[in-house]
Structure 1
Amino acid sequence: MPMSRTAHQDLHSERGALRGEHPGRSRNPVIRVADLAWLEFEKPDLDRAEVFALDFGFSVAARTPDALWLRGTFAGPPCMVIRRGRASRFVGPAFRAAGPADLDRLARATGSAVREADVPGGGRAVGLLDPSGLPVRVVHGTRELPALPGQRPLLLNSGTAPLRTNAVQRPPREPSRIQRLGHVVLETRVFGRALDWYLDTLGMIVSDFLFLDGQRDRGPTMAFLRCDRGTEAVDHHTLALHLGPGDGYVHSAYQVTDLDAIAAGGEYLAERGYRRSWGIGRHIQGSQLFDYWRDPDRLMLEHFADGDLFSRDLEPGWAPMSGSGLAQWGPPVTRDFLGASPSPAKVREVLRALRGDNELDPARLLGLMKAMTS
């Protein structure tokens, strides 16, 4: 049963839903996915992609002339595949079904087919398109990789309960060893349709909504979605969606051990000439410690640690969208992170969006621009 608004406010957010606002979940979804399985990309230079991947902290699970599979240290499937392509681009996410019957149910409900998954170790998959036109796969039965040695969290002395005596702290200057895939963030011009599709089709539920100042009556413009695994607590968000002039990938996030792993790994990346987009800081929605970087093709990836975990019981929070509201502490949010750097391509993207059949109109666009500078 949903928690009371008082408990909701005390535990999660100062604001809950108003009467008649989006409930943040579907009454009867087709299935309930268990987690993200992996993300799929294309890049023309797999050798360069592998160098960055190792510097960022991935391990290589498999390599062929035309594909690179990357993994973290936790047991499970690889968390990223990069296939050889003509340009660097995000192809789409793959979600993990809770059981084999879910694939059959999903295929019947969507008029799709269950096919063999073209991944190392086999498995089955259903291929779909979300309302933005993004390919989405739901998979089951893929091979689980055994765990690898990981970075140990440092013992921290705090207050009256010291854990470390007669020993010094010297975190090594090395890549932040990735543990697992955490989430992906997508931009869409059809936010409302995309949100409802992920709730109705994949059974995800909303942890937090963001709305534009003065436009709450028009509904939210960003949602942080988690998987519904009942009483089991899961990541605050596995998928985040926000309204914007573009369609597709914004960034993806990968869990590491702790703050020292984030910081030392960031120094390692900086020494090798990679570009930080924003960080280090701590988010508000999700509470993660974060650090954002650009790969050689300017795709954004995040190291994170210490994120919130929610069970099904927690209701969505509601908060105004703002640039300053993205972090509890840390450096000011950058234009690069917000995608707000002016360019001819960005102007063309905005003009196409304003002319199209979508949810981005001049009032929404001005509200988004105001939010990101507030």
Structure 2
Amino acid sequence: MSGTRAGEVEHTDPATPHQDLHSEQGALRGEHAGRSRNPVIKVADLAWLEFEKPDLDRAEVFARDFGFAVAARTDGELWLRGTFAGPPCMVIRKGRTSRFIGPTFKAAERADLDRLARVTGSSVRETDAPGGGRAVDMLDPSGLPVRVVHCGEELPALPDQQPQLFNFGTDHRRVNASQRPPREPSRVQRLGHVVLETRVFQRALDWYLDTLGMIVSDFHFLDGQRDRGPAVAFIRCDRGSRPVDHHTLAMHLGPGNGYVHSAYQVTDLDAIAAGGEYLAERGYQRSWGIGRHIQGSQLFDYWRDPDRFILEHFADGDLFSCDVAPGWGPLSASGLSQWGPPVTRDFLGTNPSPAKLREVMRALRGDNELDPARLLGLMKAMNS
């Protein structure tokens, strides 16, 4: 795929067959290229997510039940991590209300921070993360704080859950042994991705592609509105020929601005299922699952924490190199999974409430990309 700036379009031959790796079709002539010709930097991964919550003790109980380990704890901060070596997954700071602050991405090189600060008019500062490091703080077009960090000392690896051995047909790998996955928390290995909602989808998309060098894996468009461009993007890091997660960031157009859910890798399906039973026994609410996605192919299971944030256990996701071009497909609720229970209204966020109605009215009045036609298209997709 030739390099085209995120805000521009690429004139591709519509007769060229799509690679059919992840979507039924590719781009039509003149559609969004899904990558920037000359990004400021290319981030390597997500580092961590930042939240504020009034009750850190309650947050820690859920975190341990969900499968995080504690990297550091003070009266005002709780740093959570997975079993893999690297940066922490999440920091929760004590605050008056429960809210998502923003994502932190990992720079490939220390020099990237200087380049980013120079172009965006920011400054490079020290971080308070375990292991230290330096960071640049910015705002995306939605007004969401976004940080890019170059970590100092990485956290060492912790003991991991071992994957189960399976017998397949005549391929017998487990003999004279039983299958007994323990009923315990699914040990989180790492942070996989975060999903954000934005009223300024096109502007936000182009910012992440132009500023952080991310590239699109898949676009979704609204029924009958493909000519207006995509409304959903699954976005990955560009590590060249090195395969990376199908999406590290996903964004969709909507009346809100901010966090939708975040996803954390665990060992396998048994870890997802046994860990889910552990959470259910302790009274936590499953939002949706267990199933397998279409975009990204992950096995998934979504849970609400005590502050109503949705967190996902996932395993067995797709990995793409930079050579895979964006796929294009229509947005529908039924198209979110290959198998599993029907998607819930809780997961989709379509439960009616006065707060949701006020959010929609504010979005329709504001200077953003959501208008009545787009709103009706989103509502139709969530019921299809």
TM-score tier by shorter-chain length is over 0.9
Question: So what's the TM-score if we normalise by structure 2?
Answer: 0.96
Q: CA deviation at 1:159?
A: 1.6
Q: CA deviation at 1:236?
A: 0.3
Checking the alignment, whether the CA contact within 8 Å between 1:77 and 1:142 is kept in structure 2 is no
Aligned residues: 374
Instruction: Find the residue that maps to 1:11 and give its secondary structure.
Output: coil
- The residue identity in structure 1 corresponding to 2:33 is P
Correspondence for 2:379:
369
Q: Work out the CA distance in 1 between the residues paired with 2:43 and 2:18.
A: 25
1:266 has 2:315 as partner? no
Identify which range, 42-51 or 142-151, moves more after superposition. Answer: 142-151
Q: Work out the CA distance in 2 between the residues paired with 1:288 and 1:8.
A: 22
Correspondence for 1:184:
194
Q: CA deviation at 1:117?
A: 1.2
Instruction: Find the residue that maps to 1:60 and give its secondary structure.
Output: strand
Correspondence for 1:173:
183
1:97 has 2:99 as partner? no
Q: CA deviation at 1:14?
A: 1.4
In structure 2, the gaps of 5 or more residues are 3-11
1:297 to 270, 289, 307: 307
Q: Work out the CA distance in 2 between the residues paired with 1:309 and 1:121.
A: 28
Instruction: Find the residue that maps to 2:47 and give its secondary structure.
Output: strand
Correspondence for 2:361:
351
1:21 has 2:31 as partner? yes
1:60 to 35, 52, 70: 70
Q: CA deviation at 1:6?
A: 5.9
Correspondence for 2:215:
205
Checking the alignment, whether the CA contact within 8 Å between 1:56 and 1:175 is kept in structure 2 is yes
Identify which range, 92-101 or 139-148, moves more after superposition. Answer: 139-148
Task: Report matched runs for 1:197-346 at 5 Å.
Answer: 197-346=207-356
Q: Work out the CA distance in 1 between the residues paired with 2:188 and 2:153.
A: 19
1:9 has 2:19 as partner? yes
Checking the alignment, whether the CA contact within 8 Å between 2:64 and 2:185 is kept in structure 1 is yes
Q: CA deviation at 1:130?
A: 0.2
CA deviation vs aligned residue, 1:212-268 (integer Å, no higher than 9, x gap): 010000000000000000000000000000000000000000000000000000000
Checking the alignment, whether the CA contact within 8 Å between 2:22 and 2:295 is kept in structure 1 is no
Checking the alignment, whether the CA contact within 8 Å between 1:245 and 1:349 is kept in structure 2 is yes
Q: CA deviation at 1:11?
A: 2.4
2:52 to 42, 45, 48: 42
- The residue identity in structure 2 corresponding to 1:159 is G
2:117 to 77, 82, 107: 107
Q: Work out the CA distance in 2 between the residues paired with 1:224 and 1:142.
A: 29
- The residue identity in structure 1 corresponding to 2:144 is L
- The residue identity in structure 2 corresponding to 1:179 is Q
Instruction: Find the residue that maps to 1:354 and give its secondary structure.
Output: helix
Instruction: Find the residue that maps to 1:223 and give its secondary structure.
Output: strand
Checking the alignment, whether the CA contact within 8 Å between 2:131 and 2:155 is kept in structure 1 is no
Checking the alignment, whether the CA contact within 8 Å between 2:46 and 2:104 is kept in structure 1 is yes
Distance 1:325 1:294, change over 3 A: same
- The residue identity in structure 1 corresponding to 2:75 is P
Q: Work out the CA distance in 2 between the residues paired with 1:326 and 1:12.
A: 13
- The residue identity in structure 2 corresponding to 1:22 is H
Q: CA deviation at 1:7?
A: 6.4
Identical aligned residues as a percent: 83
2:166 to 156, 162, 166: 156
2:157 to 126, 147, 167: 147
Q: Work out the CA distance in 2 between the residues paired with 1:41 and 1:12.
A: 32
1:51 to 32, 36, 61: 61
Checking the alignment, whether the CA contact within 8 Å between 1:42 and 1:84 is kept in structure 2 is yes
- The residue identity in structure 2 corresponding to 1:57 is G
Checking the alignment, whether the CA contact within 8 Å between 1:107 and 1:114 is kept in structure 2 is yes
Q: Work out the CA distance in 1 between the residues paired with 2:224 and 2:135.
A: 43
Q: Work out the CA distance in 2 between the residues paired with 1:74 and 1:141.
A: 15
Q: Work out the CA distance in 1 between the residues paired with 2:75 and 2:197.
A: 31
CA deviation vs aligned residue, 1:135-170 (integer Å, no higher than 9, x gap): 000000332011000000000011221110111101
Q: Work out the CA distance in 2 between the residues paired with 1:199 and 1:361.
A: 24
Correspondence for 1:69:
79
Correspondence for 1:134:
144
Q: CA deviation at 1:9?
A: 3.1
Instruction: Find the residue that maps to 2:72 and give its secondary structure.
Output: strand
Instruction: Find the residue that maps to 1:324 and give its secondary structure.
Output: helix
CA RMSD of aligned residues (A): 1.2
Checking the alignment, whether the CA contact within 8 Å between 1:8 and 1:314 is kept in structure 2 is no
Q: Work out the CA distance in 2 between the residues paired with 1:29 and 1:338.
A: 32
